[in-house]
Amino acid sequence: MTTSPATDQADTRADEAAVRALLAEEAEAMRTRDAELAVARYATDAMIFDLAPPLGRRGHAAAGVRAWLAGFDGPVTIETTELEVTVGGDLAFAHGLRRMSAVPAGAAEGFSFWYRATTCLRRMQGRWRVVHEHTSTPFHMDGSFRAATDLQP
């Protein structure tokens, strides 16, 4: 295998763009309430550390996303900031902050909060796939054990 540094750099830029496009599917899927699109980028056995319990679970199924979306009226808006993507060979990882805004089903008013998202990807049969994702808020270590849903980037 022989590649020039210039080719390597161009490949890395293309890979980073591909990973960023894949991560952008999240906002699009939530905006359009498309459960199939929401899970399309995940490997079958991806390990998910989600905002809500349990600690971790294997796989990200469209049925689960559909049930979750049913809890909200209209589009769920995801905004991302401070996204950093690192790629090398057939691995990549990304971290950033996301704001979710939504209106609970039947509610008069919506809510929004910022959380952290870390995504780990692997190129499998030529396609980037999410093999691990970790989303969370911190919690207040003041004895209240409240989730810190009031933080700003």
User: What residues make contact with its own copies under the rule CB under 8 A?
Assistant: 1-3, 47, 49-56, 82, 84, 86-93, 95, 97, 114-116, 118, 120, 122, 131-132, 134, 136-141, 145-149, 151-153
Q: How far is the CB of 80 from its own copies (least distance, A)?
A: 13
Distance between CA 13 and CA 26 in Å, rounded? Answer: 21
Q: Which is nearer to its own copies, 74 or 153 (CB)?
A: 153
| Residue owning tokens 């409240």 | 146
Beta bridge partners of 57: 48
**1-10 own/partner pairs: CB under 8 Å, 24+ apart:** none
Distance between CA 138 and CA 150 in Å, rounded? Answer: 10
Q: Which is nearer to its own copies, 8 or 28 (CB)?
A: 8
Q: Which is nearer to its own copies, 3 or 32 (CB)?
A: 3
Measure CA of the first residue to CA of the last residue in the chain; give whole Å: 43
Q: Which is nearer to its own copies, 49 or 62 (CB)?
A: 49
Q: How far is the CB of 105 from its own copies (least distance, A)?
A: 14
Q: How many CA atoms lie within 13 A of 114 on its CB side?
A: 10
Q: Which is nearer to its own copies, 74 or 89 (CB)?
A: 89
Q: How far is the CB of 119 from its own copies (least distance, A)?
A: 9
Q: How far is the CB of 153 from its own copies (least distance, A)?
A: 6
**Vertex 97, ends 74 and 111: CA angle to 5°?**
35
Q: How far is the CB of 86 from its own copies (least distance, A)?
A: 7
